[in-house]
Amino acid sequence: MTAAKLDVSKSPSSISVHSAYDGLLVGTVGSTDAGEIDALIATARVGAELSRSLPRHKRASILEGAARLVESRATEFAETIVREAGKTIVQARKEVLRCVNTLKLSAEEAKRNAGEIVPFDAYVGSEQRQGWFTREPLGIITAITPYNDPLNLVAHKLGPAIAGGNAVLLKPSELTPLSAIHLVKALREAGLPEEIITITVGGTDLGKALVTAREVRMVSFTGGFATGEAISRSAGLKKLAMELGGNAPVIVMNDCDFDKAVESCVSGAFWAAGQNCIGAQRILVQSDLYERFRYAFVTATNKLKAYPSGEGRGRTYLFPSRWMAMRF
């Protein structure tokens, strides 16, 4: 099974990865068939045992090492994000920095919060008793990530799972799988056994197989509400972690820092061409300030410079191209 070894490009069938900006081909990856689920689970089962057996200091060391590798290859990672996701280079570089931070935070968590001793002396007759609990790995986790932050949102799934001693069946968006593949390679280069992360790329049938597999003990999903609801109905008895986008109003009051409010709202509305789960979706302005704010917001928006993906410096934004609109 090629997915376990990350040789996805050698799969009998492949998925083409196109630039979100202009539709040009940027790469191909192997397509994982839903019929491979038994083999995927078998590999993940081995990975779960390996991950569980890693001492906490080793998990932390691997995550710290991966963070250093990503940081040292920041340009390569940023350029990959630009090519497949269509972000500007400024936005892509910030995502790489966030990924590094996510891995470092996960490394710190790997070394703490292992459990707790609970005194029972709050109840009469139990003065000499105490209880304790430990946090143990779940086992196999299915992680499904979207296209809009193809590197950092993968790190959000992998970092904590590794810190907790779990194995992961990773399904990145088939629109943007290249950043995920590079991140998994960095983790393996830092010492993570291959079987701990099994990367798969495919469509809805593959997602259903990964979600409903009985040995999967948790599904971590970032994406749309409808898909999240479908997952919750079909997953069975397992833990679910859902990040289904934001509902993000901005409230602008009369006593605000006006210039900062305008700048923040423009950034919130147009960062990453609006493909942002915490983007400003609507702005509620106190009536006395409304006309002034509307004029300033429109004026600031008109000053934004739109570049082809990867180009531009400073406060520049990528606006949706025709290809991006058709794709998303």
Active site residues: 243, 277
SS3 112: coil
Distance CA 268, CA 256 (A): 17
Distance CA 148, CA 224 (A): 12
* Residue 319: HSE in the Cβ half-sphere, 13 Å Cα cutoff: 7
Contact 148, 94 (CB under 8 A): no
* Residue 149: HSE in the Cβ half-sphere, 13 Å Cα cutoff: 23
* Dihedral angle, C-alpha 29, 33, 37, 42, nearest 10 °: -40
Nearest to 191 by CA among 48, 69, 76: 69
CA angle at residue 325 from 319 to 327, to 5 degrees?
Answer: 125
**Count of all residues that appear for the chain in the document:** 328
Contact 25, 68 (CB under 8 A): no
Distance CA 172, CA 207 (A): 10
SS3 209: helix
Distance CA 299, CA 283 (A): 16
Task: Give the pairing of strands 130-134 and 167-171.
Answer: unpaired
